[in-house]
Structure 1
Amino acid sequence: MTTEIQNQADYIKDLRKKLGLGLTEMANLLGMNATGERTIRGWENGEHAPTKAKWNAIKELEDTLKAHYDNAPLKQQSLEQSDFTFIDLFAGIGGIRYPFQQLGGHCVFTSEWDKFAQKTYLTNYGEMPNGDITQIKAKDIPDHDILLGGFPCQAFSQAGLKQGFSDTRGTMFFEIQRILAEKKPKAFLLENVKQLQGHNKGETLKTILSILRGEFEQEIPEDVPMSEEARHALSEKLNYCVGFKVLRAGDFGIPQNRERVFIVGFDRDYYQLDQDIKFSDIFTWPEGSKEPTRVGDILQSPEELQADFEKHQKDRFTISEKLWTGHKKRKAEHQNKGNGFGYSLFSADDEYTNTISARYYKDGSEILINQGEEKRPRKLTPRECANLQGFPKEFDVDAVSQGQIYKQFGNSVCMKVIEAVAFQMTTAMKQAEQSKSSKQPKAVA
Structure 2
Amino acid sequence: MLALDPAAPASPSPLTAAQDDALSLLTQVLDIYAPRDVLSVLQAAGGRDWSLPKLTRIRSGKSAAPALSAAEVNTLQTLLPSRPAHYAAPAFQFVDLFAGIGGIRRGFEQIGGQCVFTSEWNKEAVRTYKANHYCDPYQHQFNSDIRLVTQPAGLQDEQAIYQHIDRTLPDHQVLLAGFPCQPFSLAGVSKKNALGRAHGFECEAQGTLFFDVARILAAKKPPFFVLENVKNLKSHDKGRTFAVIMATLDELGYDVANAQDDGLPDAKVIDARHFLPQHRERIVLVGIRRDTGLSAGFSLRALPALYPAQVPALHLLLEPEPDAKYTLSPTLWHYLYQYAKKHKAKGNGFGFGLNDPRNLSCCVRTLSARYYKDGSEILIDRGWDYALGETDFRQPENMARRPRRLTPRECARLMGFEAPGEARFRIPVSDTQAYKQFGNSVVVPVFAAVARLLLPLIERYQQQNGQ
TM-score normalised per structure 2:
0.69
After TM superposition, list the pairs within 5 Å mapping 1:232-243 onto structure 2.
238-243=252-257
CA contact (8 A) 2:29 2:76 kept: no
Q: Is the 8 A contact 1:149 1:190 kept in 2?
A: yes
Match of 2:349 among 340, 344, 365: 340
Does the 8 A contact of 1:298 with 1:388 survive in 2? no
Residues 178 and 227, structure 2, Cα contact 8 Å, conserved in 1: yes
Pick one of 248, 257, 267 that aligns with 2:271: 248
- Which residue type is aligned with residue 250 of structure 1? R
CA distance in structure 2 between the partners assigned to 1:116 and 1:333 by the alignment: 37
Matched, 1:405 2:405: no
Shift of 1:171: 1.2
Aligned residue number for residue 161 of structure 1: 189
Residue type of the partner of 2:202? Answer: S
- In the alignment, is the contact (CA less than 8 A) between 2:32 and 2:428 conserved in 1? no
C-alpha deviations, 1:110-155, integer Å up to 9, x for none? 0110011010011111438421111124231111111000011011
AA of the residue aligned to 1:143: D
Match of 2:104 in 1: 96
Corresponding residue number in structure 2 for 1:171 = 208
Mapping of residues 256-271 of structure 1, within 5 Å: 256-269=278-291, 271=292
Question: CA separation of 1:200/1:180 partners in 2, compared to 1, >3 Å: closer, same or farther?
Answer: same
Query: In the alignment, which residue of structure 2 is the partner of 1:9?
Result: none
Given the alignment of the two structures, is residue 211 of structure 1 paired with residue 264 of structure 2, yes or no? Answer: no
Identify the residue that residue 134 of structure 1 maps to in structure 2: 147
Name the CA shift for 1:423/1:70 in 2 (closer, same or farther; >3 Å).
Answer: same
Per-residue CA distance 1:159-187 (angstroms, 9 max, x = gap): 21162112232211111111111111110
Query: Residues 298 and 382 of structure 1: is their aligned pair in 2 closer, same or farther, counting only changes over 3 Å?
Result: farther
CA distance in 2, matches of 1:357, 1:427: 34
The CA deviation string for residues 347-380 of structure 1, in whole angstroms up to 9 with x for no partner, is: 1114200000000000001000000124100001
Q: 2: distance between equivalents of 1:250 and 1:54?
A: 47
Q: Is the 8 A contact 1:327 1:365 kept in 2?
A: yes
Tell me, what secondary structure is at the counterpart of 2:189? coil
- Find the counterpart in structure 2 of residue 143 from structure 1: 171
Within 1, Cα distance between the matches of 2:99 and 2:367?
A: 18
Q: Which residue of 1 aligns with 2:51?
A: none
**Is this contact kept in 1: 2:33–2:428, CA < 8 A?**
no
Q: 1:109 to 1:70 in 2, by over 3 A?
A: farther
2:33 and 2:311 map into 1 onto residues whose CA distance is 44
Tell me whether 1:189 sits opposite 2:226 in the alignment.
yes
Indicate whether 1:351 and 2:362 are aligned. Answer: yes
Structure 2 contact 171–220 (Cα < 8 Å) conserved: yes
For residues 63-97 of structure 1, what are the alpha-carbon distances to aligned partners after superposition, in whole Å with 9 as ceiling and x for unaligned?
99998776435743464421100010000000000
1:29-64 alpha-carbon deviations (Å, 9 max, x no partner): 7989xxxxxxxxxxxxxxxxxx9871655999xx99
Q: Distance in 2 between matches of 1:334 and 1:90?
A: 37
Counterpart CA distance in 2 for 1:66 and 1:283 is 47
Matched-pair contact (CA < 8 Å) for 1:146–1:186 = yes
Cross-structure match for 1:388? 414
Instruction: Please give the secondary structure, in 1, of the residue aligned with 2:61.
Output: helix
Shift of 1:398: 2.7
Structure-2 change in CA distance of 1:100 and 1:260 (3 Å): same
Secondary structure, in 3 states, of the residue corresponding to 1:265?
A: strand
Q: 1:242 to 1:31 in 2, by over 3 A?
A: same
Gaps of 5+ in 1: 1-14, 33-50, 215-237, 274-278, 310-314, 439-445
Distance 1:301 1:433 in 2: 43
| 1:317 Cα offset (Å) | 0.6
Q: How many residues align?
A: 358
- In the alignment, what sits opposite 2:337? 328
CA shift, 1:191, in A, is 0.3
In 2, distance between residues paired with 1:69 and 1:366?
A: 38
Q: Deviations over 1:207-231 (max 9, x none)?
A: 11111111xxxxxxxxxxxxxxxxx
Kindly indicate whether the alpha-carbon contact (under 8 Å) linking 1:111 and 1:132 is maintained by their aligned counterparts in 2: yes
Q: Aligned with 1:93: secondary structure?
A: coil
Provide the aligned C-alpha RMSD in A. 3.3
Change (3 A) 1:424 1:176: same
Deviations 1:375-397 (CA, angstroms, capped at 9, x unpaired): 10000111111111111245434
Q: 1: distance between equivalents of 2:75 and 2:97? A: 24
Question: Does the C-alpha gap of structure 1 residues 272 and 67 become closer, same or farther in structure 2, counting only changes over 3 Å?
Answer: farther
1:228-260 residue CA offsets vs partner (Å, 9 max, x unmatched) = xxxxxxxxxx111112500001112x0001000
Runs of 5+ in structure 2 lacking a partner?
A: 1-17, 36-56, 136-140, 151-164, 191-198, 259-267, 385-396
CA drift at 1:331: 0.7
Counterparts of 1:180 and 1:370, CA distance in 2:
47
2:379 corresponds to which of 368, 392, 402: 368
1:54 pairs with 54, 61, 67, which one? Answer: 61
Distance between the aligned counterparts of 1:328 and 1:343, measured in 2?
8
Q: Is the 8 A contact 1:357 1:411 kept in 2?
A: yes
Amino acid in the other structure paired with 1:204: T
Looking at structure 2, the residues matched to 67 and 171 of structure 1 have their Cα atoms a distance apart, in angstroms, of 44
Give 2:111's aligned amino acid: L
Partner AA of 1:165 in structure 2: F
* 2:80 corresponding residue in structure 1: 72
Q: Structure 2 residue aligned with 1:87, among 80, 87, 95?
A: 95
Contact 1:30–1:58 (Cα < 8 Å) also in 2: no
TM-score, scaled to structure 1: 0.72
Q: How does 1:265-344 map to 2 (within 5 A)?
A: 265-269=287-291, 271-272=292-293, 279=295, 281-285=297-301, 286-287=303-304, 288-289=306-307, 293=311, 295-302=313-320, 304-305=321-322, 309=323, 315-344=324-353
